[in-house]
Amino acid sequence: MPERIWNFNAGPATLPLPVLEKIKSDLPNYNNTGMAFMELSHRSKDYAEVHAEAKALLKELFFVPDSHHILFLQGGASTQFFMIPMNLLQEGQKADYVNTGAWSKKAIKEAKLFGSVNVAGSSEDANFTFIPRHADLKLSSDAQYVHITSNNTIAGTQWASFPDTGNIPIMSDMSSDILSRKLDLSKFGIIYAGAQKNLGPSGVTVVIIRDDVLQKCRDDIPTMTMYKTHAEKDSLFNTAPTFSIYILKLVLEHVKSIGGLEAVEKENIEKGNLLYGTIEENKEYFKCPIPEDSRSLMNVVFRLPNEDLEKKFIADGLSGGFGGLKGHRSVGGIRVSMYNAMPLKGIKELTGFMKDFMKDNG
């Protein structure tokens, strides 16, 4: 086994090596404080600088408009499944949800605790293998918001573009594609993402909330569940996940150093072209169940001719230095998660392995 493998895990996922090396060199004495970063007070000047810098970098790199607040919360994206309806949905009020996979379903389940849910579109009947067309969505004119999952980590699908919802804000779970492509964020009321795929380690959840949506949020619910608490206290109402935020800052610095979002998006497209291209060129052997317009650039799913070959592919892959290739247990097959930190070189080597495997096991 080599010292580091190509890590295709779905999350927590691979991080840029320079970031890991920087974390190591900052230990155990951060910035001459005589303490490691995770030992610093969350009220200290050294911590405050990192907190502010992480926010500023995310704003700059992801083109977050001035109308939006950036929050660093805990509880994972799963906590956002209930925080959004808890803050924005009163009894008798309605929200639209698009059901594109296991994570959308979990969000829908939580929303039903607070208000009425209209499932405006779904691909469940087709095992979540596609993203519904905008024209097929049955959006309500009186919804408080429309919730979507921009990238479906398990199913391997991604919204290529977003529906026009007029004045109704879109809330998007971007856990697995935040900061992977340039988007017009102005129409999003809330964007949320656990950091552990594109942004850093687990432990911090990024929430980007538009000011008019924030103003509509309730203030008669438990303090920690109120978006207003965290916006007013700059995400320092209580002890922040300081170490995760510090690594988030390092990841963002790294993204900036390699050319920002433009460079990241370009490489993500190149990786997608190479991997999907290899699948298509060998489609008698590798089969991707997702139609082209719904394919994810972050999580690529495909099948081999039978399950025994898939098991062998995963095992041979691991001994060849390619980890995390097993598809989610609910889908089976192969899943290649290739977030921002997976370089094109990793996909070049993987596609080489795929072709060799096919030759040897044809």
Which of 242, 254, 202 shows the shortest CA–CA distance to 48? 242
Q: Is 198 exposed, middle or buried (0-12, 13-18, 19+ CB in 10 A)?
A: buried
Cβ atoms of 54 and 252 within 8 Å: the answer is yes
Please tell me whether residue 296 binds ligand PMP under the rule CB under 6 A: no
Tell me if residue 159 is catalytic.
no
**Closest distance of CB 257 from ligand PMP, Å:** 26
Secondary structure (DSSP) of 96-138: EEEE-SHHHHHHHHHHTTTSEEEEEEE-GGGTT-SPPPGGG--
Q: Which residue is nearest to ligand PMP (CB)?
A: 76
Distance CA 93, CA 108 (A): 14
Please tell me whether residue 149 binds ligand PMP under the rule CB under 6 A: yes
The 3-state DSSP class for residue 238 equals coil
Which of 96, 103, 249, 326 is catalytic? The answer is 103
In eight-state DSSP terms, residue 277 is H
Token reading at 261: 């979002």
Distance CA 355, CA 122 (A): 35
Please tell me whether residue 77 binds ligand PMP under the rule CB under 6 A: yes
Tell me if residue 6 is catalytic.
no
Which of 11, 274, 279 shows the shortest CA–CA distance to 153? 11
Contact stretch for ligand PMP (CB under 6 A) within 74-82, 211-219, 257-265, 332-340:
74-82
Contact stretch for ligand PMP (CB under 6 A) within 112-120, 173-181, 251-259, 280-288:
173-181
Contact stretch for ligand PMP (CB under 6 A) within 17-25, 115-123, 136-144, 168-176:
168-176
Which is closer to ligand PMP, CB of 169 or CB of 194?
194
Please tell me whether residue 173 binds ligand PMP under the rule CB under 6 A: yes
Tell me if residue 197 is catalytic.
yes
Contact stretch for ligand PMP (CB under 6 A) within 73-81, 303-311, 323-331, 346-354:
73-81
How many other β-carbons are positioned within 10 Å of the β-carbon of residue 93?
15
Please tell me whether residue 244 binds ligand PMP under the rule CB under 6 A: no
Please tell me whether residue 30 binds ligand PMP under the rule CB under 6 A: no
Please tell me whether residue 129 binds ligand PMP under the rule CB under 6 A: no
How many other β-carbons are positioned within 10 Å of the β-carbon of residue 185?
16
Which of 96, 159, 177, 197 is catalytic? The answer is 197
Which of 6, 96, 159, 173 is catalytic? The answer is 173
Give the list of residues 6+ apart from residue 304 with CB closer than 8 angstroms, or none. Answer: 285, 286, 287, 310, 313, 333, 334
Which of 6, 7, 8, 11: binder of ligand PMP (CB under 6 A)?
Answer: 11
Token reading at 210: 């538009």
Which residues sit at the interface with ligand PMP, rule CB under 6 A? 11, 76-78, 103, 149, 153, 173, 175-176, 194
Task: List the catalytic residues.
Answer: 103, 173, 197
